[in-house]
Chains A and B, each alone.
Chain A
Amino acid sequence: MRRAHLLGLGFMAPALLITGLFFLAPVILTAVFSFTSMSSGTGISGGAYSVSEQTIRELPERGFPQETADLLAKDVYRIDEAGLSDLSANFGEPFSKQVRKALSGKVFDGRKALVTEMKKLRERPRSVRQLKISADLFKRSILNIRFDSKAALLASVSDIGISLDASQQTILAETSYTGWSWTTDNYKLISSMPSAFRAAGNTFIYVTLTLSVSIGLGLLLALATFYLPKGQAAAFRAIWILPRILPPVIYVMMWKWLTWDTGFLSNFLLNFGITPRNWMLHSDINAWVCIVLINGFVGASLGMILFSSAMRAIPASMLHASEVDGANRRQQIWHIILPQLRWPILFTTAYSTLSLIASFDYIYLSTDGGPGRSTEVWALYAFHTALNNYGGALQYGLGAALALMLVIIGIGASLFYLRIFNFNELVAKPRIEQ
């Protein structure tokens, strides 16, 4: 490999490392997660095998014999030799002796009963935790123990004298497993849930309307400031760049203040006899208008800047010529300026479509998808599902499946745009070392 190659790869390395770790790897992981049942109940890092009351209730439903389930449900503590020798190894001979003397051969139902007895012994460990640990040495049941592996669970089951056939073992292991499993259910769920369809519809509304406002308003601003005297134009541009540069948290807070029941709009309209209302959340229409304006203004900022700079590139002679020819303003815009803006508009549309499909921060901060779920777009739906809901039921797997669909749309659209914008032209070869 030539030196320049090495230099090139070396120069790329930091960027590749960071994007690889925190961008590409997450994409792959998201794809992997989407085929799991991961949730806050299963945990991410893998589960344990634990037979609980809940498991015992479920077992018979899955064809596990009721009597065996009942046996498993017993929380037995038996003072036997094995336990006593464990006790003397860990907690010393005197305590072990006392336990042997007072309790040998006894069987207790549950730890509580045993601990109560142990508390009467003088040599007992003084710390509650230790006492309970010492009692656990006599546990001859598997109830509520978290086993790391299926083998450990089954071995312990046979240790306590319960024999299971192969199919029962499978049922027990499956029912008692607390972790996640591989599944394609997430995709089935998405296709069967009304809320997913609504989220898709909402996304469509959101992208279409916001895009129209962004592009339309952006174009309008660019054109208008183009014709204004320099000072005025600069002032308007300065105002309209604010939505874009103010941090979203502040920007949305300002909108809330504007639209709240006790906010500016309500107070202002009160003078005209209109009852105060929450202009942001009054109805789904209100919410949509707010969402579209909040996002649209931000988009318009970007549009204005892009289109303005494109318009500055139009040769002044062309404009003067058209005026000499007697073109009015509309004709000038229509025939001279807009054709020149074709590519910037197309580009902005493409770019904004993609970022709008995936963005949700302004919605999250303003309506949070409400009222009802009327402004919950797909990306926010994924976020709510995976990470953010009142019940704390975080469904990572389902959320990842939702996110992955956006990722696929994103990649597809990007590749499509690369074709439109003529990728080959962009990657002209370097001129040294040809």
Chain B
Amino acid sequence: MTSNFKSWPITIFLSILSLPIVVMFFYLILDTVTDTTGGSLIPDRLTLEHWRFLFETPATGRASIWKVTANTFIFACTTSATVVATSLTAGYALSRLNMPFRRFFLGGVLTLHAFPTITLIIAIFLMLQMTGLYNTLAGVILVKTALELPLGIWIMKGFYDTVPWEIEMAGLADGASRFTVWRKLVLPQVHPGMAALGLFSFLAAWSEFILPQVLAPDGASQVLATYMQNLIKDDVQPDFNMFKSVGLFYALPVLIIYLIFNQKLMNIYGGGSKG
């Protein structure tokens, strides 16, 4: 921006600082299609061998990658949809509606927003057991939603807060109910917020590891995070090139979203946490 500052020292400095990430990421991609002789840093041949996990029938007692991928999509999409839908109404209520306990709810949202959630997992297990949702994808989805909600509501409230009051006033003056005003006039105003929150929760659920591991260990509800961790921890096939291939496969949706929505993500990660 400003002309009297030289930028090249910064560039070099940042480049060095970024080196670990660049190296890790570069090799993450490179190693999936190459083989390297032990001890060397430079791969010596191209191969698609590491991607065989996509086509092989899974070994006895292992889950199939496609089933697991489907699970992960269901998990992430449903969580995202539930978080958005629930935050849309709750956020509006907190932003605009005068109701009993409003102060209390807002305080609650803010308190829960940065709260040691994962430590509650034993009790969460018991809740799932009581509701019969333990070992099901639905259970993990509900729990993940519950944990993401405070942040989601807070973000949506933020978006509602920026909608001009005049829009609603005008609607009410025309004789529409509060509900109609919300649905017809206010909702369209927060579409960017919905999209951003949807993406954000999708990514959060896509990455989630501990919840599915503890709450749905059954093969039928495994997700990519647990699939991959099980693969890494299994001492029989520790083959980093294969891990990386699975990893890249697992990261693909994240990377695609990241490439398309780069700027939006920056905003949501930034904006989402503005207390």
A-side interface residues toward B, CB under 8 Å?
A: 1-5, 7-12, 14-16, 18-19, 21-23, 25-30, 33, 44, 217, 220-221, 224-229, 232, 236-250, 253-258, 260, 262-264, 267-268, 270, 293, 297, 301-302, 305-306, 308-309, 316, 319-320, 323, 329, 347-348, 350-351, 354-355, 357-361, 364-365, 379, 382-383, 386-387, 396, 399-400, 402-403, 406-407, 409-411, 414-415, 417-418, 421, 423, 426-427, 429-434
Contacts and interface: CB of A to CB of B under 8 A. Distances in A.
Which 10 residue pairs across A and B have the least CB separation, nearest first? Answer: A358-B116, A8-B99, A8-B97, A26-B123, A22-B146, A29-B123, A247-B207, A15-B90, A11-B93, A403-B119
Contact of A305 (B10, B209, B210, B266): B266
Contacts of B127: 21-22, 25-26, 29
A9 B101 CA distance: 9
10 contacts: A8-B98, A15-B90, A229-B7, A242-B21, A250-B251, A257-B24, A308-B270, A365-B229, A427-B102, A434-B98
Contacts of B97: 4-5, 7-8, 11, 430
B228 interface: yes
B20 interface: yes
B12 to A, nearest CB: 11
A337 B245 CA distance: 43
B197 to A, nearest CB: 13
A240 to B, nearest CB: 7
B60 interface: no
Grouping DSSP codes into helix (H, G, I), strand (E, B) and loop, the A interface class, with mixed when no group exceeds half, is: helix
Contacts of B38: 262
Contact of A18 (B17, B146, B274): B146
B96 to A, nearest CB: 5
Contact of B250 (A250, A360, A429): A250
Interface stretch (B49-57, B147-155, B187-195): B147-155
Given A19-B112, A239-B21, A411-B111, A379 B27 contact: no
A387 B273 contact: no
Interface string B81-120: 0100111011011111111101101110011111111111
A263 B244 CA distance: 13
| Chief secondary structure at chain B's binding surface | helix
Contacts of B143: 22
B66 interface: no
Given A11-B97, A323-B2, A358-B116, A18 B145 contact: yes
A351 B7 contact: no
B209 A247 contact: yes
A232 B7 contact: yes
B267 to A, nearest CB: 7
Nearest to A271: B41
Given A3-B177, A227-B1, A347-B275, 10 more contacts: A14-B90, A18-B149, A28-B123, A239-B22, A240-B18, A258-B23, A306-B269, A323-B2, A403-B119, A406-B119
Nearest to B147: A23
Q: How large is the interface on B (under 10, 10 to 19, 20 to 34, 35 or more residues)?
A: 35 or more
B146 A21 contact: yes
Contacts, number: 321
B121 interface: yes
A253 B93 contact: no
Given A355-B114, A426-B106, A12 B4 contact: no
Nearest to B1: A227
B114 A354 contact: yes
A280 to B, nearest CB: 13
Nearest to B152: A15
Interface in B213-257: 214, 224-225, 228-229, 232, 240, 243-244, 247, 250-251, 254
B172 interface: yes
Centre residue among B113, B118, B122, B265 by max chain A CB count within 10 A? B122
Contact of A8 (B40, B102, B119): B102
Contact of A379 (B100, B116, B254): B116
Contact of A22 (B94, B142, B244): B142
B62 interface: no
A5 B119 contact: no
Contact of B126 (A44, A421, A426): A44
Nearest to A360: B118
B74 interface: no
A33 B99 contact: no
B162 interface: no
A407 B41 contact: no
A301 to B, nearest CB: 8
Interface in B1-52: 1-2, 4-5, 7, 10-11, 13-14, 17-18, 20-25, 27-28, 38-41
B76 to A, nearest CB: 11
Residue of B100, B119, B149 contacting most chain A CB atoms (<10 Å): B119
Nearest to B10: A224
Given A26-B127, A245-B258, A421-B275, A359 B96 contact: no
B221 to A, nearest CB: 17
A270 B40 CA distance: 10
Nearest to B110: A418
A396 B122 contact: yes
A5 B122 contact: no
Given A305-B269, A355-B114, A255 B146 contact: no
B107 A423 contact: yes
A428 B18 CA distance: 43
B101 to A, nearest CB: 8
B103 A407 contact: no
Most A Cβ at <10 Å: residue of B40, B86, B244: B86
B184 interface: no
Contacts of B92: 11
Contacts of B86: 14-15, 18
A14 B7 CA distance: 52
B47 to A, nearest CB: 18
Contacts of A417: 114, 275
A254 B24 contact: yes
A211 B209 CA distance: 23
A302 B243 CA distance: 27
A413 B14 CA distance: 35
A359 B13 contact: no
A403 B269 CA distance: 28
B169 interface: yes
Nearest to B39: A267
